[in-house]
Amino acid sequence: MPLDYPIHQRTLGNGLRVVVSPDHSVPNVTVNIWVGVGSRHEVAGRTGFAHLFEHLMFQGSRHVASGEHFEALMAEGGRLNATTWFDRTNYFETVPTGALELALWLEADRHGHLLDAVNQTNLDNQRDVVKEEKRQRYDNQPYGNALTEVYAAVFPEGHPYHHPTIGSMEDLDAASVEDVHAFFRRYYGPNNTVLTLCGDVTPDAGFALVERYFGDLPPTAEPARPLHEPLGPLAEPVRLEKVEAVPNDRLHLAFRLPPDNTDEFLAASLALDVVAGLGTSRLIRRLVRQEQVAHSVHATSWGFVEGVSLGFLVIDIAPDADPSAVEDGAMAELDRFIAEGPTEAELAAALAQAERSWLSALASQEDRADALSQHELLHGDPALVNTLLDRLRAVTPAEVTAAAGRWLRPESRAVVAYLAADEEAVA
């Protein structure tokens, strides 16, 4: 049965898609904005730009001083941030109901009139902030660049998902004020944006307020480029081994998956859950509980919109265990799953855990707002949040087996192996 979160939609004359989902249990409102630009839109030589740009959105706009967006909302008890991902950029705040108009005014100013405030000084400042973020979160962390290497191994050179959102130091250095202007003009504008209000607001009041603050912005974003051709599974295994100063050997076993919001993607993600994503999954039973050759096994499925998605297993190898033997064991389990499919109990467990996980996410007003923006921007229908579980439950065991047989074959894997360097050699 579908969930019944209330969802009201309207599109303004300038193309801004507005979603309002009232919830009066607490007197605050989440404003969640998704802009249809992410790292998949970046071109060679300018990787990391969507994320750098997101930082500049906090450095002032026509009527807002640098840093004022954060200060003004935090002074009202708001909490706020922004994130950049492959498919989109996301700006959000949760504020007491009485500060909703201020939040909308601040957002409209930067989403409409950012460029008045962009200059070489704040570009240089935020470039340094982002480069420091890259050092802290990627370059100076054990395994910190592993996922970057996974993307490069799974998707071909020049593909939209080949590079990470953080970009490269060289490309960040190369970004100019002219790039910022061109990027804003091309991608930012109400006609490439979804704005969700979730919380203590009625649909009528919400639509009227968004019209008041955003209605005058011109539809400046340029039409989207055509989507990249869909990709099938990797034709042959790809392998990268690195010996580094890491605490233990770690294997990343990655696969291309079908595009997001397709029944085949749901089936493939259920297959990954049964193989490695649950406490009772096959790899955890075998590698962690029985053979004790791994500390942990995790599975992740990330749905992307541009013709292909990404799934991967992460296996932390126990001391003295042989990583290649562990990999062989994992591949044997994948082969067995493809041959046998899920048991009734395994599929029931994967569905029950997906149910709790999705319902827990929606329980949070902020996450619910985010899910509504996501499904409107990327899939054109926020009401998908109410029917996702029904679509998952409709997936048959045969579809799960077939998705695994097409996308999760050992010969279609990309392996990024981090092997712990001998301690003396590192020292």
Partner 1 sequence: MTAPDLPAPGLPVVPRPVVSPPEPWSFPMPAEHRTANGLRVLAYDMPGQYVISVRILVPVSLAEEPPELEGVTAMVGRLLDEGTARHTPEEFAELLERNGIALGSGVSEGGLSVDLDVPKRFLGTALDLLHQALA
| Contacting residues toward partner 1, per CB under 8 A | 3, 5, 23, 25-27, 62-63, 76, 96-99, 101-102, 105, 108-109, 113, 116, 212-213, 216, 218, 278-280, 285, 289, 345, 348-349, 352-353, 355-356, 359-360, 362-363
Of 14 and 309, nearer to partner 1 (C-beta) is: 14
Angle formed at CA 375 by CA 195 and CA 2, multiple of 5 degrees: 120
Structure tokens at 175: 């970004």
Of 33 and 172, nearer to partner 1 (C-beta) is: 33
Q: How far is the CB of 235 from partner 1 (least distance, A)?
A: 35
Q: How far is the CB of 286 from partner 1 (least distance, A)?
A: 12
Distance of CA 215 to the CA centre of its chain: 29
Catalytic residue among 42, 54, 149, 333: 54
Query: How far is residue 305's CA from residue 303's CA, in Å, rounded to a whole number?
Result: 7
Count of Cβ atoms closer than 10 Å to residue 396 Cβ: 12
Structure tokens at 124: 């240089």
Q: How far is the CB of 107 from partner 1 (least distance, A)?
A: 12
DSSP summary character for residue 382: T
Query: How far is residue 172's CA from residue 184's CA, in Å, rounded to a whole number?
Result: 17
Q: How far is the CB of 319 from partner 1 (least distance, A)?
A: 20
Report phi then psi at 245, rounded to 5.
-80, 75
Q: Which helix (H) or strand (E) holds 198?
A: strand 193-199
Q: How far is the CB of 116 from partner 1 (least distance, A)?
A: 6
Query: How far is residue 103's CA from residue 99's CA, in Å, rounded to a whole number?
Result: 6
What's the first-to-final CA gap in the chain, in angstroms? Answer: 59
Q: Cβ contacts of residue 286 below 8 Å, gap of 6+?
A: 329, 333
Q: 49-80: string of b/e by CB count within 10 Å (b at 16+)?
A: bbbbbbbbbbbbbeebebebbeebbeeeebeb
Q: How far is the CB of 219 from partner 1 (least distance, A)?
A: 10
Of 324 and 360, nearer to partner 1 (C-beta) is: 360
Q: How far is the CB of 58 from partner 1 (least distance, A)?
A: 18
Of 146 and 271, nearer to partner 1 (C-beta) is: 271
Of 242 and 285, nearer to partner 1 (C-beta) is: 285
Of 273 and 306, nearer to partner 1 (C-beta) is: 273
- Please compute Rg for the chain using Cα positions: 23
Q: How far is the CB of 314 from partner 1 (least distance, A)?
A: 20
Catalytic-residue membership of 333: no
Amino acid at 326: V
DSSP summary character for residue 224: P
Instruction: Find where tokens 């990024």 sit.
Output: 416
Of 348 and 426, nearer to partner 1 (C-beta) is: 348
Long-range contacts of 156-160 (CB under 8 A, 24+ apart): 158/44, 159/228, 159/231, 160/39, 160/40, 160/41, 160/86, 160/228, 160/306
Burial environment of residue 220 by CB neighbours within 10 A (0 to 12, 13 to 18, 19 or more) = middle
CA atoms within 13 A on the CB side of 386: 13
Q: Which helix (H) or strand (E) holds 235?
A: none
SS3 percent helix, strand, coil of the chain, rounded to 5, is 50, 20, 35
Of 218 and 230, nearer to partner 1 (C-beta) is: 218
Question: What are the catalytic residues?
Answer: 54
